[in-house]
Structure 1
Amino acid sequence: MAAMDRVFHDLHRQGLLLLANVADAGGARLVERQGSKAVATSSAAVAWSHGYQDGDKLPLALLAGTVESMARVLNVPLTVDIEGGYSDAPEQVAKVVETVIAAGAVGINIEDGTQPPEQLLRKLDAARNAASQRGVDLFINVRSDVYLKHLLPAEQRLEELLRRATQYAAGGANGLFAAGVVEPGEIATLCREVTLPVNLLWRAGLPSSAELQRLGVRRLSAGSSIAEFLYGAMSGLTQRFLENGQLDTSGLKAHSYAELNALMATKADNT
């Protein structure tokens, strides 16, 4: 475990780290076999794989079991998306962090969402303390949702993201996940001004990986996009098989994040 945490930190100093986010141990094994230097979960993909919506709804026991099953088959570092920590209470976030570390994770993603950055700073402190007690130099990648959730008008987003990045770096974050940023000029400014390694989320229209590396990006995540395509393909194959008993692989397409998250809703989620 101790070696893996050092390896994962070092990967953020060695060019552009590409992470094809997965949902389960089989996917983790496959991604490692394809040559990935580390494996990352997608919170949405993990939740969907258990029939839950994304958005802090997955029971901790299911998350722990998933992480443990991945760590069992991996020989590379594993980082886990814990959304907002599955709680607004820092002490509960610490419990989540302790759980995923015990299951084999050496990195986490944690997001600010629509909450003020001060709330995430309290969670950051709790996460760092929990990791220290376990003797793990946990890589804490902070996702700021200023762009992803359109928290401010477009012309104000970069300034706010830079402000938050400064706060998060001072609060003990190891990386900044600037999800939703795609414009090359803004990417260049982030990489120049932010002291943390910058992580971007894949989006259509994003510059090539070579250009991202030239701009200074250190990490690129697929997010839930791979799971969205896989579930879309399963849906298309299943529909045609049920219609005519044939496995027709032509014309497969992805589901959207919104479609999949709506699909996983239960009556309890709507009450």
Structure 2
Amino acid sequence: MPTRQEKFDAFARLHAQEGCFVIANAWNAGSAKILDALGFKALATTSAGLAFAIGERDSSNRLDRETMLANAKEIVDATSLPVSADLENGFAESPEDCASIIGGAIAAGLVGCTIEDATGNTDKPIYDFELAVDRISACVEAGRGQNFLLTARSENYLHGRPELDDTIRRLQAFEKAGADVLYAPGLPDLAAIRAVCESVNKPVNVVMGLSGPTWSVGVLAQAGVKRISVGGSFARAALGGLVRAAEEVLNSGTFAYADDALPHAAALRFMAGKGEGG
């Protein structure tokens, strides 16, 4: 098993190479093993995927940092790949309390994480600009010298604030504060994605698989994107298969879904880290 240093080095190289790469979001050890065996080069966790797996809604009010870090360690321990964690808003408001999660992330074996500027409060969904920047600055300082890539997220577009200028302003400030990767989920079109990429000098992450338009890896690379994540969409795809199978049984009394199910032997090979073919 590679050391954490070796995983960090591999993760850093992915962000430095030409073009862009896909970081696949795993929600437990089994999904991590499958994604590793299929050939992805890095993994991320997903708060949505974890929440759905434990019967909760995707919200920092429904999950806590201990649950998130335990899930992340489960994924880290299951794979040889570098893993970055979705740590929502750090489960704290103040810069100091937010940054305190970084030590736990490093102890779990993670080589990076994302911290967002969403509050979890529907009345005021986005942190004020200065506080948002101070939170990222504190997280950067907490990870300094620890071989840890911090991704800073501007959540405007996911919370009814389609304000590209403010989103770019925040990402630029996060970059100045020391964030290694910048991320604004929910950007509406390629023009907005290109504008974000051209406005900063650090790698930009874009999420695909959400509702709305999707673009290929090649198209996003041409727009300047360095990293593509899939958020909770792989987990939702798995849940979609479950729903379709269950509805077939309930509504038709048939079991044709089994024809498309992953064969038991293939599942065993994935869990052994050998991949579907071997």
User: TM-score, normalization: structure 2?
Assistant: 0.81
Give me the whole-angstrom Cα distance separating, in 1, the residues matched to 2:213 and 2:127. 28
Question: Which residue among 142, 152, 156 is the counterpart of 1:130?
Answer: 142
Equivalent position of 1:93 in the other structure: 98
Cα deviation, residue 112, structure 1: 0.8
Q: Tell me the residue number matched to 2:42.
A: 38
Cα deviation for residue 115 of structure 1 reads 1.5
The one-letter code of the counterpart of 2:174 is Y
Deviation at residue 245 of structure 1 after TM alignment: 5.6
AA aligned opposite 1:236: R
| 2:25 counterpart SS class | coil
Counterpart in the other structure of 1:145:
155
Aligned residue in 1 for 2:272: none
Task: Tell me the distance in 2 between the aligned counterparts of 1:195 and 1:67.
Answer: 29
Q: Secondary structure at the match of 2:26?
A: coil
SS in 1 for 2:157: coil
Q: Tell me: CA distance 1:119–1:248, structure 2 relative to 1, closer, same or farther (3 Å).
A: farther
Displacement of 1:63 in angstroms is 1.9
Mapped to 2, the partners of 1:201 and 1:105 lie a distance apart of 20
Match for residue 52 of structure 2? 48
Aligned residues: 245
Q: CA deviation at 1:4?
A: 1.9
Structure 2: runs of 5 or more not aligned: 119-125, 261-278
Q: CA offsets per residue over residues 22-80 of structure 1, 9 Å max, x none? A: 20011111111111110011111112212222121213332222111111121111000
What residue is the counterpart of 2:271 in the other structure?
A: none
- 1:226 is displaced (CA, Å) by 1.6
- C-alpha distance 243-187 of structure 1, shift in aligned 2 (>3 A): closer
**Distance in 2 separating the partners of 1:130 and 1:52:** 30
Aligned residues with identical type, % of pairs = 29
Scaled by the length of structure 1, the TM-score of the pair is 0.82
- In structure 2, what is the Cα distance between the partners aligned to 1:141 and 1:121? 13
> In structure 1, what is the Cα distance between the partners aligned to 2:134 and 2:57?
25
Deviation sequence 1:145-169 (CA, Å, 0-9, x none)? 12222314xxxx2221221111111
- Structure 1 residue 181, shift from structure 2 partner: 1.5
Aligned partners of 1:121 and 1:168 also within 8 Å: yes
From 1, 6, 9, the counterpart of 1:3: 6
Is the contact made by 2:65 and 2:87 (CA closer than 8 Å) also made in structure 1?
no
Once residues 79 and 174 of structure 1 are traced to their aligned partners in structure 2, the CA distance between those partners, rounded to angstroms, is 12
> What pairs up with 1:145-224 in 2 under 5 angstroms?
145-152=155-162, 157-202=163-208, 203=210, 204-224=212-232
Distance 1:60 1:145, change over 3 A: closer
Counterparts of 2:9 and 2:188, CA distance in 1? 30
Whether 1:120 and 2:132 are equivalent positions in the alignment is yes
CA RMSD of aligned residues (A): 2.1
1:73 equivalent to 2:71? Answer no
Residue 244 of structure 1: how far off its partner (Å): 6.2
Mapped to 2, the partners of 1:126 and 1:245 lie a distance apart of 57
Contact 1:2-1:136 at 8 Å conserved across structures: no
